[in-house]
Structure 1
């Protein structure tokens, strides 16, 4: 998809928000949902999405929505750090096909990193076990401030 196209209300994140597809939630409020990536590039890979916006990418997002999503990312990254003690982490936000975006609903990745663990490629990681993801989500949720 290009950067300029109509929002698809049947994208996987929209379906998760409607409860049509399950997710392993870490936390949510009226504006943001934080949940585990089922195809994690690294242990503890988290996704954050707006529950109120149909922006497909950074170019389309409303300023107040971006501010909420950014604060949610910071809060969740702190919890990931406390819960999993990574040596670093990546915050990724991809835009358009050429930019690596695969789901066209604005989202942010938090990917914990360790020097001795290679990161799997975006869109190339195997599907994770739900119980493993639930355990990680619980640890991260317990570390939220």
Structure 2
């Protein structure tokens, strides 16, 4: 299955190429994790695959088992590393326009550091 159309000039692709600085939390062969520049919680870290995947749908359809495992294992590792695992954290990955995905490169938000409340209701 072919990947969705990927924009190689999106902000996360530029971060991966070193064109835009970031505050790295962890980097592995397959994944980069860094602090969000506009945090929505005391802990707000973005975890992205290094491969060119538009969203979760694209990633789960086209990434290797190694890449998929690396991404999700890194999310758990980061949550524990930053102290979010206890008392708890939220992971979010917006997929597509209706979910308000702003950057067309798969990214998972790790949010924590205080009570995040309930999930929002649709408008």
Corresponding residue SS for 2:82: helix
Question: Equivalences for 1:1-145 in 2 at 5 Å?
Answer: 6-51=5-50, 53-61=51-59, 62-64=63-65, 65-81=67-83, 87-115=87-115
Task: Identify unmatched segments of 5+ residues in structure 1.
Answer: 119-145
Task: Give the match's secondary structure for 2:46.
Answer: strand
What TM-score do you get using the length of structure 2 for normalisation? 0.81
Q: Unaligned regions of 5+ residues in structure 2, if any?
A: 118-123
| TM-score, scaled to structure 1 | 0.69
Cα deviation, 1:61-98, whole Å, max 9, x if unaligned, reads 114222210011011111122xx686421111110011
Match of residue 121 from structure 2: none
Provide the aligned length of Structure 1 versus Structure 2: 112
Distance 1:6 1:46, change over 3 A: same
Are the equivalent residues in 1 in contact too, given 2:43–2:113 (CA < 8 A)? no
Taking the aligned partners of 1:41 and 1:86, their CA distance within structure 2 comes to: 19
Change (3 A) 1:5 1:85: closer
CA distances 1:92-120 after superposition (whole Å, capped 9, x unpaired): 111001112111101111000413x77xx
Which consecutive aligned stretches of 4+ in structure 1 deviate over 6 angstroms post-superposition?
Answer: none
* Per-residue deviation, residues 17-70 of structure 1 (Å, max 9, x unmatched): 00110100011011111100001111120001111x111011111142222100
Structure-1 separation of matches of 2:26 and 2:85: 19
